[in-house]
Structure 1
Amino acid sequence: MKRLIIITSIISLILIFTGLFLKNLAIDFEIFNLIIDFNITGDQLTGTGVIGLFFFVFPVFSYYRWKDKDVKDYMLTQENIDKMNKSKK
């Protein structure tokens, strides 16, 4: 259940911020101008999407993929170099 919630939240964040990238979508921005007192342009939506992906989606995805892994397995140490040389022979 916990995994389903994490996957659903990651997918929903990706969809939200990807939707903000699509500035040429058939959305009438006059609705937003009536609700909010400033103009929203496509460049602002694209920038918001980039910021959202960079600060929210990428860290959540990175944590989800790396939470049970050991970083030393992926570092280039002398021990790992010796393992690679043994596997080539």
Structure 2
Amino acid sequence: MKPIHIITLIAFLASITSIVCGLVLDVNYAQKLIGFGVVGLFLVVFPLFSYYRWKGKDVKDYMLTKENLDKMRENQRENKI
């Protein structure tokens, strides 16, 4: 596995563990555990995952440009026949 994949997995597991511990444990700082878990998911795990999945891909392939819309229409015509 690639290092960024491992880092993302560890951060994900740490965030989920923090959220679960905050929900299960009866301590004064339970809400902080849940908050840190959610912040970890959205500020660490999601950007790392997005970077890992989008690295090396061309964003123009996923945008609705005139050329891509024309390609989609041609594909629909070909599939209907």
Shorter-chain TM-score above 0.5: yes
Percent identity between matched residues is 46
Q: Point out 4+ residue stretches in structure 1 off by more than 2 angstroms.
A: none
Q: Count the aligned residue pairs.
A: 76
Give the structure 2 partner of residue 21 of structure 1.
19
The CA deviation string for residues 6-52 of structure 1, in whole angstroms up to 9 with x for no partner, is 221111110001111012435x85xxxxxxxxxx5211100011111
TM-score (norm 2): 0.83
Q: Which has the higher helix share?
A: 2
| Unmatched segments (≥5 aa) in structure 1 | 30-39
Give the structure 2 partner of residue 68 of structure 1.
56
| Unmatched segments (≥5 aa) in structure 2 | none
Over the residues paired in the alignment, what is the CA RMSD in angstroms? 1.7
Give the structure 2 partner of residue 32 of structure 1.
none
CA contact (8 A) 2:23 2:34 kept: no
